[in-house]
C-alpha cells in the first residue's frame, strides 16, 4: 500500500548516550520513510548524541526529566502527526519494515502496530530477557485478556488518536507495559508484525537492567491491575481475608456447638475483624470499579475526539 501524500509520519527516537548508533537510525529511517520527519528526544546524554543526530538531519528536542517514560510523555505531547513510529535509538530494530508497519496501521484502521522481535542472535535477545518478557506477557494476558506476544518491544507505530489519549504515568522502561495496557483497556484495534531484532553494535551498552527494570515492570502491572480492574483486585484480598476468618473460626464454632462456650475470645474477635475487613475490601472494589468505568469512558471520549488512522488531523 502507498501512503496518501497528506499522511504525516513522525519518527520518534528516545535517546540516552547513543552516539554510536543514532546516525544509522536517522539515516535508515530517512531512507525507508523519506516523507517522514525524524525527531530525536535526548534524555540528558553526556556523549555526542545530540551533535551527531543534528548532523544526520534529525530535529533534536531535550527532555530533562530522566527516564524513557518521561521522554515518551513529552514526545506524545509535543509532536503533531497522523502516524507515529517510535523506535529505540540503539540500532537493534529493522528500519526496512517501518513502511509495512505504517501501511498496515493506515490500511486496516489500527491504533497500534507492534514490531514483534524475532532474533537468532544470542547477544541481541538474552535468555534472561526472553524469559522475563514471556513471564510478564503471560501475566498481562491473564489479567487483561487478549494481549500481545511481545509487550516489551520498543518498536511501535501509533495512530494520532492513540497518542493524544495516552496519559503516560510511568517514568522508566515500564512504559512499554503501560502502552500495551492502554490499548487493551480501551479495546483498540491492534496488530503485531514480526521484525528482525539485531544485536547492539560493538561498544554500545544497553541501559536496561534485567532484574531492577523487571521488578519495576512487574510493579507497574500490579498497579495497572489495581487501577484498571479494581473489583477483581480487591476481591482477591477480600476472599483471602474471609477464608482466613472462616479457617480460624471453625474450631471456635465447633467448641461453641459442643459446650455453648467461647473460650478463645481474642481469636473470635480476630475472626470477626478479618470478615469485616473482607467486606470492606469488597465494597472498595465495587465502588472503585464504578469510578474506573467512568474514567475509562472519559478516556474513550478523548480517544474518539481525534481523527482515526488514515484521516487528516484537519478533517
pLDDT for 126 beyond 90: no
**Span 90-117, pLDDT tens digits:** 888 999 999 999 999 999 999 999 998 8
**Residue 78 pLDDT class (50, 70, 90 cuts):** very high
**CA separation for the pair 33, 285 (Å, rounded):** 47
Mean pLDDT value across the chain: 85
Q: Which one has a higher pLDDT value, 134 or 232?
A: 232
Section 146-154 average pLDDT: 80
- 12's CB contacts (< 8 A; 6+ apart) are 39, 41, 75, 79, 84, 85, 86, 87
**CA separation for the pair 208, 215 (Å, rounded):** 12
Query: Would you state the pLDDT for residue 149?
Result: 84
pLDDT for 184 beyond 50: yes
Q: Which one has a higher pLDDT value, 130 or 280?
A: 280
**Cα–Cα distances in Å, from 256 out to 248, 249, 261, 270?**
13, 10, 5, 16
- 37's CB contacts (< 8 A; 6+ apart) are 9, 10, 11, 59, 81
Q: In 3-state terms, the chain is what percent helix, strand and coil (to 5)?
A: 50, 15, 35
**Span 8-47, pLDDT tens digits:** 999 999 999 899 999 999 999 999 999 999 999 999 999 9
- Dmax over CA atoms of the chain, in Å, equals 89
Contact 107, 144 (CB under 8 A): no
**CA separation for the pair 158, 164 (Å, rounded):** 10
Section 211-215 average pLDDT: 71
Contact 268, 262 (CB under 8 A): yes
Section 294-306 average pLDDT: 86
- 109's CB contacts (< 8 A; 6+ apart) are 189, 308, 309, 310
Q: Which one has a higher pLDDT value, 258 or 158?
A: 158
Helix (H, G, I), strand (E, B) or coil at 202: coil
Section 252-277 average pLDDT: 87
Query: Would you state the pLDDT for residue 152?
Result: 82
Query: Would you state the pLDDT for residue 99?
Result: 93
Most confident of 84-98, 217-231, 250-264: 84-98
Query: Would you state the pLDDT for residue 311?
Result: 60
Q: State the pairing for strand pair 59-62/190-196.
A: unpaired
Cα atoms in the Cβ-side hemisphere of radius 13 Å centred on 129: 17
- 203's CB contacts (< 8 A; 6+ apart) are 20
**Span 171-180, pLDDT tens digits:** 777 788 889 8
Distance spanning both ends of the chain, measured CA to CA: 22
Q: Which one has a higher pLDDT value, 238 or 209?
A: 238
Provide the whole-model pTM: 0.79
DSSP 281: H
Length of the chain: 315
Q: What percent of the chain has pLDDT over 90?
A: 48
pLDDT for 313 beyond 50: no
Amino acid at each position: 500500500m502507498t501512503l496518501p501524500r497528506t499522511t504525516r509520519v513522525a519518527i520518534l527516537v528516545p535517546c540516552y548516550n547513543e552516539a554510536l548508533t543514532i546516525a544509522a537510525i536517522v539515516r535508515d529511517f530517512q531512507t525507508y520513510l523519506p516523507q517522514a520527519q525524524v525527531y530525536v528526544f535526548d534524555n540528558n546524554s553526556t556523549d555526542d548524541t545530540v551533535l551527531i543526530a543534528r548532523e544526520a538531519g534529525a530535529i533534536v528536542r531535550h527532555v530533562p526529566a530522566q527516564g524513557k517514560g518521561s521522554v515518551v510523555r513529552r514526545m506524545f505531547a509535543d509532536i503533531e502527526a497522523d502516524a507515529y513510529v517510535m523506535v529505540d535509538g540503539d540500532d537493534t530494530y529493522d528500519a526496512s519494515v517501518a513502511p509495512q508497519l505504517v501501511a498496515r496501521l493506515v490500511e486496516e484502521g489500527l491504533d497500534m502496530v507492534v514490531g514483534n522481535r524475532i532474533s537468532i542472535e544470542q547477544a541481541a535477545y538474552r535468555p534472561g530477557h526472553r524469559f522475563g518478557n514471556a513471564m510478564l506477557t503471560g501475566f498481562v494476558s491473564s489479567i487483561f485478556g487478549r494481549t500481545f506476544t511481545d509487550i516489551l518491544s520498543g518498536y511501535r507505530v501509533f495512530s494520532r488518536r492513540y497518542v493524544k489519549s495516552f496519559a503516560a504515568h510511568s517514568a522508566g522502561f515500564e512504559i512499554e507495559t503501560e502502552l500495551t495496557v492502554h490499548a487493551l483497556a480501551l479495546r483498540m484495534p491492534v496488530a503485531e508484525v514480526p521484525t528482525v531484532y539485531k544485536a547492539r553494535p560493538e561498544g554500545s551498552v544497553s541501559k536496561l537492567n534485567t532484574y531492577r527494570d523487571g521488578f519495576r515492570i512487574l510493579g507497574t502491572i500490579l498497579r495497572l491491575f489495581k487501577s484498571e480492574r479494581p473489583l477483581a483486585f480487591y476481591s482477591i484480598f477480600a476472599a483471602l481475608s474471609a477464608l482466613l476468618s472462616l479457617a480460624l473460626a471453625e474450631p471456635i464454632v465447633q467448641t461453641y456447638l459442643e459446650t455453648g462456650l467461647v473460650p478463645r475470645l481474642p481469636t473470635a474477635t480476630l475472626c470477626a475483624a478479618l470478615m469485616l475487613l473482607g467486606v470492606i475490601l469488597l465494597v472498595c472494589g465495587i465502588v472503585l470499579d464504578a469510578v474506573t468505568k467512568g474514567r475509562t469512558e472519559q478516556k474513550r471520549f478523548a480517544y474518539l475526539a481525534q481523527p482515526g488512522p488514515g484521516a487528516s488531523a484537519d478533517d
